[in-house]
Amino acid sequence: MADLSSICGGVLDKVTSGTDRVPGVVAMVTDRDADIFSGAAGVRHTDDGTAMTEDTVFAIFSTTKAIGGVAVLQCVEDGLLDLDAPARDYAPEIGELQVLDGFDASGAPQLRAPKSAITTRQLMLHTAGLGYDFFSEAYKRLADEHDQPSVVTGTKAAIRTPLLFDPGDKWEYGSNIDWAGQVVEGIRGKRLGDVLKERVFDPLGMVDIAFTRTDDMKARTATIHARGEDNALTPMDGFALPDNPEVDMAGHGLYASIPEYMKFIRMWLNDGAGPNGPVLKPETVEMAVSNGLQSHQKVTMLHSVNPTLSHDAEFFPGLPKSWSYTFMVNDAQAPTGRPAGAIGWAGLANCFYWIDRSNGIGGYWATQILPFADPVSFAGYMDFETAVYNWISQRLQAAGE
């Protein structure tokens, strides 16, 4: 039986070679105790040829969301947050958001008060009414015609967007967790980055992760590349998440090397425990990985309205998915072998992870490419995850189970 390193290493070598390739990738797999595969292939930058290494720093974009969600859950555990109370009780500015009911003949936004107050539970579940300008035509129009800044600017103005519908009406992926981070800041009375360091990163021994990079982290950061229609890769040297942002964005703002994220995945595999102390209670973990949506709220395909930032995107088309606090849950076994009830998500520059608590295993695949749902990187990730489950199956067969 082939070992995991050779199986997964072959996937990395394949995806970083040939005409249709990614510039570079770091991929890792962990069990409950430690990393059981760690690999890097390709380059950080296609022009200078700097090798991709396992300590490369990535803009992890929306894989930040689960980390921000932990800070919210800790506030609940401490008795400081009622998930069903108005979120404005903790972050007053969210109470100023109105619902966008279209545009008038002159192109001006038509706004009205929401029928109910946004709750933090709705923020965690992406049912509050917020979206993203690369998945929402209305938000894109606000950006194009009314100078609504992108969330990647890291500004308070970027999250002061109108709601696309009344809170609770449906599921729509968007800037909800950025606002959930503001709820945490209102409760804790300090910046989110400081809260995470004290309550998440230090207990888990996570060092190489931050909203603002050190000089050493900057020197190890992979460049984001744009894939053109001809499949050519162009370095986006001027594009990056801001260091020293106005707002520590709980939904997308962290930089990290992938070994640090594996420590976070292990926390979920170990019922909330970290090497330096507990991060969440086991009962909180059980709640957090379970579907929180109501029957009328469905996880849907992400339809792109900005092809430079994202393709249409959906994990496991045709299979039922739900949403937890704050992950996608696949409600049926995936073609990769990922079992029903596992959790995971992704980041805009084509980072992907999954956490399988039943088998005690999880993995992360990191590239830096736009647009999202890059066919080459995503196919490589699917091959990577499939290879891991094939290896698990072979081990069980060899053990006679």
What's the rounded Cα separation, in Å, for the pair 111 and 20?
Answer: 46
Alpha helix segments (H runs only) across 166-214: 176-188, 192-196, 202-204
Q: Are strands 225-227 and 369-370 parallel, antiparallel or unpaired?
A: parallel
What's the rounded Cα separation, in Å, for the pair 165 and 114?
Answer: 8
What's the rounded Cα separation, in Å, for the pair 326 and 312?
Answer: 21
Strands of the sheet with 233-235, listed across from one edge: 233-235, 225-227, 369-370
Residue-wise DSSP of 345-374: EEETTTEEEEEETTTTEEEEEE--EESBS-
* CB atoms near residue 145 (< 10 Å): 12
Which structure tokens are listed for 341? 């009830």
End-to-end CA distance of the chain: 16
What crossing angle do the helices spanning 176-188 and 65-77 adopt, rounded to 10°?
A: 40
Q: Are 154 and 246 in contact (CB under 8 A)?
A: yes
Which structure tokens are listed for 31? 């069990």
Q: Are 119 and 289 in contact (CB under 8 A)?
A: no
Catalytic residue among 90, 173, 255, 381: 173
Query: Cα torsion at 44, 373, 62, 329 (round to 10°)?
Result: -130
- Could you tell me how many residues make up the chain? 401
Clarify whether 17 is annotated catalytic. no
Burial of 263 (0-12, 13-18, 19+ CB in 10 A): buried
Catalytic residue among 65, 90, 136, 322: 65
Clarify whether 255 is annotated catalytic. no
Clarify whether 140 is annotated catalytic. no
The residue among 260, 293, 290 whose CA lies nearest residue 357 is 290
Q: Which residues are catalytic?
A: 62, 65, 173
